[in-house]
Homo-oligomer: A and B are copies of this chain.
């Protein structure tokens, strides 16, 4: 029998680098092919975060180059503020090191793991150290490092640290090499394209094995960098409260006001009254039971939500719409930014957009674009709360078919912006199922669904109205003719009736005894300027009035009249001919015009 002493000999502590070396798929390094995308993503996220903090318009260069048989060098260079030399080894050579983990504000990187994981992956698979160049200003020289990670201790291993000349005045460049393939090139470009969509102020230049693609910025305004806020009393947990209180020498009323967001003197008094603790006690003197009472009181008192507009940076409806329209041709697009909401004390804002028609494929599931803190999510769509919410909405009631996901020529974009995005794993591929977040996503999708439904209805109604109008225009004159035959009275003019029904610009073509006549009635209440096209085998050389010009193709004549028509008046042309072919009105909106061919 093995006994406790034998087992004890095998027990030891595991460094976080060892842990992630063994579990590298948790960080998005499932395969070398995906490794390229993960590396680029982590470096670009860092670059965008740093530029935002320094209020610089980002100019990011990404290169993937084959160096030999199957080794690729991945380079990402930015014009950010640079990293001070003494910190470079830690930022790139130590997992769980960074500036954003302890701050309560929206940022792309949060964990201080991503880029060091790429360094770890390179040294594990290829043994090549990472090359980092960084310069923090025109008055200092750049530093060039070659770095690895000591896996057993998770500490940086500095192989080279030298000063060099660099033409950038500030910025950072990282080069990482490992065996890989370019099989995911399309996905990489997709990542860069959608990164540009949600970061309209960034220019990204990609050189993928010699092929250059530039994603140009569409806005020259640096979005304001979200400001870190204090924890919210409703979101804090016992352990965290105990920690903050333990080292705080303020009196409790000051402590509450100074260490929490949205707590003023009045709220502090209310909390302390409810907890039955004297306001003049010092925070660090509270025992566990008193802290529990304090926490309970903090969570019971009504306190406004955290100041989301300060710590979050939503994209805005306008920029989402512009960004998407730039990338996809659509007939309909609506974007919505929801008011901020809170889960476990973390602020978040949901933004979403729905696009319809245009060049979207008519068959198959709708296209889904997922984003978190302005970063596109490319993997694990099926495991993501966003996808889950999209399936839960009843799209049939909004005019789309549905098989789990909505089906048809639609695009659904959802952006979750939060001070703490709850990802399902460190690789940040999918958002965990948090009821408060799911509720907001469903609400915004329902809002947009109603807009889509209104659009589809309007489109269908326009079509129906046109069909009806066509029917009326052909039948009413027919009835009038029959009636006049029967009652043996002259034919009455039915135009006013048609006009009353339709309130549109109506073009009617009829042919009788070798004479073609086209009438255009303006039944609307305003003057209309339009162009009438008539394409047929008739040359209409005797037309009155003469066409403004005629195109002659292969025995067909396209006759064009430019017209201006007061409300309630009619314009007419007649010519000799067979009356075949078609007529068309241009220059007025689709829902204002009706074309009726009485010869057909």
Contact = CB atoms under 8 A, between A and B. Distances in A.
Interface of A: 1-5, 7-8, 10-16, 18-19, 21-23, 25-26, 30, 50, 53-56, 81-84, 86-87, 90-91, 94, 96-103, 111-112, 120, 123-127, 136-137, 151-152, 170, 225, 237-240, 242-243, 288, 291-292, 380, 382-383, 420, 422-426, 430, 432-433
A26 B94 CA distance: 21
A8 B54 contact: no
A55 B136 contact: no
Contact of A243 (B4, B12, B151, B430): B151
Given A10-B99, A124-B239, A288-B127, A137 B15 contact: no
B11 A432 contact: no
A124 B81 contact: no
Contacts of A103: 10
Contacts of A112: 13-14
A150 to B, nearest CB: 10
11 contacts: A1-B55, A4-B170, A11-B99, A12-B98, A12-B102, A14-B111, A18-B101, A23-B426, A26-B425, A124-B239, A383-B424
A24 B288 CA distance: 23
Contacts of A100: 10
A54, A55, A56: most-surrounded residue (chain B CB, <10 A) = A54
Contact of A11 (B18, B97, B240): B97
A420 B22 contact: yes
Given A53-B2, A81-B4, A426-B26, A96 B19 contact: yes
Contacts of A14: 96-98, 101-102, 111-112
A99 B7 contact: yes
Given A111-B19, A239-B21, A239-B125, A432 B30 contact: yes
Given A2-B55, A151-B243, A125 B237 contact: yes
Contacts of A81: 1-4, 7
Contacts of A3: 54, 81, 136-137
A421 to B, nearest CB: 10
A473 B259 CA distance: 91
A85 to B, nearest CB: 9
A96 B91 CA distance: 22
Given A94-B13, A97-B12, A7 B432 contact: no
B96 A7 contact: no
A90 B10 CA distance: 13
A422 B425 CA distance: 13
A465 to B, nearest CB: 41
A45 B16 CA distance: 22
A11 B54 contact: no
B15 A96 contact: yes
B7 A53 contact: yes
A26 B380 CA distance: 15
Given A7-B50, A26-B426, A243-B151, A126 B238 contact: yes
Which of A8, A10, A55, A288 is the most central at the interface, judged by chain B CB atoms within 10 Å of its CB? A8
Contacts of A8: 83-84, 86-87
The 9 A-B residue pairs whose C-beta atoms are closest, nearest first, are: A124-B239, A4-B136, A10-B99, A383-B383, A14-B96, A11-B99, A8-B84, A425-B425, A127-B238
B50 A13 contact: no
A84 B1 contact: no
Nearest to A292: B127
Contacts of A19: 96, 101, 111
Contact of A151 (B56, B90, B152, B239): B239
Nearest to A126: B238
A11 B383 contact: no
Nearest to A49: B7
Given A4-B136, A13-B96, 8 more contacts: A2-B55, A12-B99, A13-B97, A13-B112, A14-B98, A19-B101, A22-B420, A30-B433
Given A21-B239, A81-B3, A243-B151, A11 B98 contact: yes
Contacts of A90: 11, 13
Contact of A127 (B15, B242, B420): B242
A286 B23 CA distance: 28
A2 B84 CA distance: 13
Contact of A54 (B2, B55, B86): B2
A180 to B, nearest CB: 14
Contacts of A126: 238
A323 B84 CA distance: 61
Contacts of A380: 383
B26 A96 contact: no
Contacts of A82: 4
Q: Which one of A22, A55, A86, A382 has the highest number of Cβ atoms from chain B below 10 Å of its Cβ?
A: A22
